[in-house]
Structure 1
């Protein structure tokens, strides 16, 4: 698939970042810097601003490309939708926040592709420090513990009759199961986002099991029953600890709807 449009716009944005004196440091991130982008991928950037700089992300981006829709998302970043549904994400923050890179994960990190502008060397140093960290490891017991909590929560609200709420909670359960299944199958290269390209990375049986924990509000008994069964099987396969009384209670609550 051609990435000519992404490449052209990325070059324009990088030039504009270099030209704007309010932006003291800038980096790109995401699939475009990792070499895994396709024509459906976003372009994503962090812009670090001089102290007290006034900066309107929509206005800045709108001078470079038509913006069909713009919104500040739930994480404080400006998200823009361009013609053809190409998305651009811009984080614009004071440059004192460069230190926040210490908390980033470093899966598929390529500082040379990410670094755009660095007025004093701080950003390059922060990226090199991040790249030197040990890669994320599979915290399987912690993942399982969170998953068991979500299962208990979801099964309780489902039993109460809150089907829409129980359906929403499945999102957390599905994510936990994907993480454990990825570890169980040895696919640990995307621990920070186990759903990314899951169809290419995970085997057919895992994808089938995942499909069994999805569905609509009329499929919740089946989905939760399958989720409990799969969770306990993964815990056994990965030799993780599960309280026996809790396991029994989850199975009892989810006893209906188990698919073969």
Structure 2
């Protein structure tokens, strides 16, 4: 048994005997049959309202397994680095905020309810998970495709401008955001939009060899020549994607804008 699987069982057992827990669910790789020895484990734990003030989330997690590090990240999520360097993410919320589950639907597709379910003392969780499971949003729309093209143009010009100024580190940082928009468009083209939000996840398996190679050429080292090449390849790739996708989508971006961007890069 993988450590993560044992940890999931330990969380389940703890919830069942801890009278302060109202409900618990999990999400991520292990709910989709994709978990392995490198995977994180991720949970939402809902604490009974009258217990919330006295509840010690850090102690609760540390009692599961030895941790090397435990802290609340910038999003308010409790992150545990266990002693075997497996990562765990725990969202602890009061029972009154269980309706947050409804908002998950807009982020992607979810498995069947029983794959996310851990524990429930409210008789509300399973129904919420059933509403959540199934297909996610339709990413293959004019709005989403245009957003990806528009964000690409905006970020690309921003990145090239700071590159020309000599801010190579900043330009490299912006390039990573550009790549995310490129990947969204590649996923539209290849119909692998299930991972639209986390566009790099499982990329080596989701994209064709040709598209993956095209994406690889948009990556760069921290030097000017490498950055110029990556920005140039990204623009060429988006030009190609524009020519493909304009057949099926009402695109707002015009080809003459892309041509001007070539000139801008080479000035």
Q: TM-score, normalised by structure 2?
A: 0.88
Paired residues of 1:47 and 1:92 also in contact (CA < 8 A): yes
Partner deviation per Cα, 1:230-249 (whole Å, 9 max, x = no partner): 11211221113313453233
Question: 1:248 & 1:106 partners in 2: Cα distance?
Answer: 34
Confirm whether residue 203 of structure 1 aligns to residue 208 of structure 2: yes
Partner of 2:184: 179
Are 1:87 and 2:87 counterparts?
yes
Q: Select 2:37's aligned residue among 27, 30, 39.
A: 39
Moved more, 112-121 or 240-249: 240-249
1:112 aligns with 2:114: yes
- The more displaced of 165-174 and 189-198 is 189-198
Aligned length: 254
CA distance in 1, matches of 2:263, 2:71: 45
Mapped pair 1:254 → 2:259: no
CA distance 1:25–1:19, shift in 2 (3 Å): same
Where do 1:1-260 residues align within 5 Å?
3-52=1-50, 53=52, 54-104=54-104, 105-131=107-133, 135-138=137-140, 139-218=144-223, 219-239=226-246, 240-255=251-266
- 1:171 and 1:150 map into 2 onto residues whose CA distance is 10
Whole-angstrom distance in 2 between the partners of 1:96 and 1:165: 42
Ranges in structure 2 where 5+ consecutive residues have no aligned partner = none
Q: Distance in 1 between matches of 2:163 and 2:132?
A: 42
Structure 2 SS opposite 1:68:
strand
Which one is further off, 212-221 or 95-104?
A: 95-104
Q: CA deviation at 1:111?
A: 1.3
SS of aligned partner of 1:91: strand
Contact 2:108 2:195 in 1 (8 A): no
Deviation, structure 1 residue 38 = 1.0
Contact 2:110/2:132 (<8 A) preserved: no
Report SS of the residue matched to 2:179: helix
Any idea what the Cα deviations from partners look like across 1:67-104, whole Å, max 9, x if unmatched? 01122222211111112211111011122222122221
- How much does 1:194 deviate? 2.1
The CA deviation at 1:140 is 1.5
Q: Secondary structure at the match of 1:192?
A: coil
Please state how far the C-alpha of 1:12 moved relative to its aligned partner.
0.7
Please give the alpha-carbon distance, in whole angstroms, between the structure 2 residues aligned to 1:42 and 1:165: 30
Q: Using the alignment, how far apart are the partners of 1:25 and 1:108 within structure 2?
A: 18
Gaps of 5+ in 1: none
The Cα RMSD (Å) is 1.9
What is the alpha-carbon distance in structure 2 between the residues aligned to residue 16 and residue 128 of structure 1?
Answer: 24
The answer to whether the 8 Å contact 1:158/1:166 transfers is yes
Please give the TM-score of this superposition, normalised by the length of structure 1: 0.90
Question: How far apart, in 1, do the equivalents of 2:3 and 2:24 lie?
Answer: 21
